[in-house]
Structure 1
Amino acid sequence: MTLLFEEKWDRTIAPRDRQMFQTIYEQNPIEKGRLKFVPVRAAFNHQGCVLASVCILNGTEDWLLQDRLLYYKEKDDVVAKERFTHDLIIPSMTAVPWTFIYHPNSFIQPPSLHNWDISL
């Protein structure tokens, strides 16, 4: 099992954030047969988009983000949905930090940024 930083992340991530993701990885073991999004932090940017940072734990076969519809939920209610087109590939039994950007036109209801998670 491995914690892997995508190339751009690896070049730009602050040491404190790198350590934070390392700790999250150590506290959340990858489960064979399961893909899990561990919430890290959510914020609004200057355009009103939700930036949802997670640690993706891939216990399945290689997982491709390309053309995936992912849901941003709060208290199990779907708040936003967005189709992602990045060509990120997460190898089996690997964890990868990632930030999903949900644009305002994807909001079903106003986000509060509390009790949130990401799901397929």
Structure 2
Amino acid sequence: MQKLIFHPKWDKTISIKDRKLIELCFAEAAVMENQPIEFTPLWHARNHKQELLVTAIVHNTSKQPFSFHERKISYHDRAGKAAEHQFSIKSLIIEPHTSMPWTFIFPLNTIIKGPLHENAKLEI
């Protein structure tokens, strides 16, 4: 059974509105047990540096902790790959049977195309 947790930094800063939205998306997520890591996309945006910020709930359905150290992640929409980046987030370790929201920041030089369509998804 998956449990939803928030990274301590998120727990201190997330708005009540966003927390409720994430909790609702988590409750409605159809997580498949045959994939050790799955993503439930929440939203994407661009920051002042034109980097792509993709917020998703990361689901670790495996029996092992999962680290985002040296992990290549791509972001796809219906037209194909939109961005790809090698992440080294040492502080992001998702414990077994745990889900956690996170924002992945794709630097400008890793964005392949834009604008993005709805129903985009993250992949490892």
Q: Tell whether the structures are fold-level matches, with TM greater than 0.5.
A: yes
- 2:58 counterpart residue number: 56
Deviation at 1:26, TM superposition (A): 0.7
Deviation at 1:110, TM superposition (A): 2.6
Mapped partners of 2:4, 2:22: distance in 1: 8
- 1:41 counterpart residue number: 43
- What TM-score comes out, normalization by structure 1 length? 0.92
Task: Tell me which stretches of 4 or more aligned residues in structure 1 moved more than 6 Å.
Answer: none
CA RMSD, aligned part only? 1.4
Letter in 2 for 1:50: L
Whose strand proportion is higher, 1 or 2? 2
Q: Report how many aligned residue pairs link the two structures.
A: 120
1:74-118 CA-partner distances (Å, limit 9, x unpaired): 116111111111111101111100000111100222342533111
Q: Is the 8 A contact 1:75 1:116 kept in 2?
A: yes
- 1:20 counterpart residue number: 21
Q: How much identity, in percent, do the aligned residues show? A: 28
Deviation at 1:29, TM superposition (A): 4.5
Q: Is the 8 A contact 1:36 1:56 kept in 2?
A: yes
